[in-house]
Structure 1
Amino acid sequence: MSQDKSSVADFTRAIERNPDDIHAYLERGQLYEKAGQYEQAIEDYSQIIRLDPAKAEAFYRRGNLYRKIKAFEPALADFDQAISLDPETARNWVGRGNTHFDRQAFEPAIADYSAALRLDPTYLAALYNRGKCYAEIEQDEAALADFTTVLQLDPQDAAAWLSRGRLYAKKGFYEIAIDDYTKVITFDTTDSLAFVGRGGSYTEIGEDTAARADFETALQLDPHEAKAYIGRGLLRAKQDDLAGAVADFDQAIRLSSADIEAWIMRGMLHYRQGRAESALADFTEAIRLDPQDARGAFGRALVYAGQGDHGRAVVNFSQALRHNQEFGAALVGRANSFHKLGEVEPALADYEQALQLNPFDAAVFYNRGLLYHHLGQVEAALADYGEAARLNPHDSAAWYNRACLLAGQNRPDEALADLRQALTVDQTGTVLANAPTDPDFEPLRADPRFQILLAEFST
């Protein structure tokens, strides 16, 4: 620093001797910039521009400083001027792209980074930052391509490994994500976020011991890393340690109260614990933090539906769907609430749309089967229960309800076969408890095979 101070003094004396010495202003400005004295640096670059309005470098450097102090409009104006004066220098485009990125104007940023890459295809910052922009606007394949190119050019770029790992995890390629996170850890064993990311991917593939170890390591490295508490909380929730999970989300919220993930996850746990008011409070805070995130309204709808307030549930499911039209669980939830309200046509429309999104969702077929069952549309109900059972052979309720309908249709052989299947897959004893007295099985009551079947499973 003393050497820099001496240099600043030297350049100041040079400026005093010659107030038009552009080189001295440029060198002194860079020293001020290095020392974090941005206002002085901006003044020196401004003086250069007054002396030579065609000096693109001065506009570029001043623009970078305006960006650092978040004065985005003057920063953009300076980069515009730098590009106008020197459109063949890639860093001018990158500077403007970075400013657009900081303003979350991702598409203009992509355009600027692309312009820089046409001039210099190996410009790592342009490639990496463009990849981040693509990730922000959910153009995941383009983002992966950019991060992969960065890694081909520089295999030791830990940030690119981390960003690519996150994308692979988002797309469900957890083993590849684990490899990428491990690369980051190889380069930097103190990167807590790499341990958090790898722990999350281990959780998804059922490697709970490895996941727990990674979350614990992340917290040892940084006890204030909220994402590590969120990751461990999700793991504990998966293991039905609801109290431990809530404690982790509590801590995450204390550390980062603006992190919507912690509010939503804690809300879901409160919902599972039957703590409706606490769940509503968490989901409402999540909506306040990010009204565009459909999960807050969805969670609140689940609570209202659980309380039997299906009118409010429909309103909140609808709010979730306004923000995410392909939110299948919200469609099913709204359909179920419409069913409870006796709104048959909207319910059927929602079930149909949910099946268009995911034709392999057994729960949708089962719930629509319930609606047809209540409407007395026996064949439609049988078809849906049958499809639900085919997609999820362990769904005892689908087998049981179909057996009830078949018994009423005087189809005893099929009814008994489905009842046997229901008894076989039932893990709770509910089927065996209900079947002997269920009025739907009255047509089978005199059939010796019915009594033999119940006796078989009773022992």
Structure 2
Amino acid sequence: MRRTLILFSLGTLVGCGSGASTPDPAASGTPSATAAAPGQTAAPAAGTPATAPAAAANGQAATQGPRPLTPEQGLAVARELIVKKDYQNALQVLTKVIQAKPDYAEAYIQRANLLSAANRPTLAIEDLTAALKVQDDNAKLWNSRGYLYLLQQQYPAALADFERATSLDTSFAQPINNRGLVRVAQGDFETALKDFDYALQLDPKYFDALNNKGFAYLKLSKLEPAIDAFTQAVTINPNYINGWVNRAQAYAESKKFDLAVADYSKLITLQPGALQFYQMRAEAYRQLGQTAEAEKDLSHVSWTQRLVELTRELAKNPKDPAAWVARGQHLLRQDKLPEALADFSRAITENPDCVPAHLGQAAVWHRQGKTADALAICVGLIEKSGAMEAYSLRGDIYLAQKKYQAAIADFELAQRFDGQVAQAYLGRAEEYKAQGKIDLASADVEQARSMDPKLRPANYEVPAKEGPQAARPLPSRSER
């Protein structure tokens, strides 16, 4: 398994535990802090085998109770539960298996994986220690326990385990890489580089070791070899997050901000939900003087953080239509139309008379091109309640249809004066100009400018009225 070790100020190092599969600690069903731990369980006394319900068969009554499982069968059940991400029950089954067979190394290993994923490394170390008493010639187990010691910053113990793993299997690259990580943690970067190079001799495509080698070079302020190592890592594994992060930061350290932007963009493609990459890219944009792009990234971060807050509020008040409307409006600001429509529809389900929800629904349909449906909602709300917001939205729809007169009338009823309204006045001014109504056109242009100071007079000039033409100047002597 490969896991991130430590996020340093300039990058990420990666160590490797055993090759066993480890559950995602962020997934639902992860063992909680109260999960059964070694020596701490309310399960049957030691020696009692794990059990599973047995269906009545061959005429046997179901009242005979559960059929005992052998430890091997219990381990198989636990593995099935892990596949289903039912980690809590898997942990309990493994504890019962260990009670039934205290020298069952595989059960200890599986439980150690679960405990490690649940951020309980001390208990995981205890289980691996128990497994090593049975399999003391297992290089992977020594490496795994050493890795957990490394995470606990118990460096002498970690080094001892990595050395033992290497002595048992001289072709095993992972403990050598991990030994290098200990050297990095101790500040001995030159020795760490030797370990990473040795690991790469054994496994030239070991991209974690390449990443760690690049990080050691970064700590030594050797930026070019660092970038080269990171480049090799992401070439081997184009989806390697740590390699892209570290290379982007190395480019930033080298003042190559355009290349840093490209790497952060790749990271955003790989992990769109990771807001830190938007923040890092924004800083790179800022260094390039691209303020608009930086602000766009930071706005996305703020918008997403607000979305998380609104979603939490919904979890607390799922029956509150206002909460659904609030999130729907927030989604609408980023044109998340299907998601916004779903939220507005849910608000209407909770309260069929919720005016903001109906307006939100109409706004989505307007953007989706369902103009007739959107207008029908606006008209219905106006007739029922005279809602100013309905006039405002209908004005937007009329503006999109270039019905400037109708749009302006609705905007006035909505008491709305903004850049969008200014566009309606400019549109009507063009119509007046085409009709030769220059005074009315001029008045509309001035009205638009009063609402939107960004409108430049040079862009919206109105032709002067026809009048007596001035006499043409006589040509100069040289022109005669």
Higher relative contact order (CA 8 A, sep 6+): 2
TM-score by length of 1: 0.49
Q: TM-score, normalised by structure 2?
A: 0.47
Q: Which has the larger radius of gyration?
A: 2
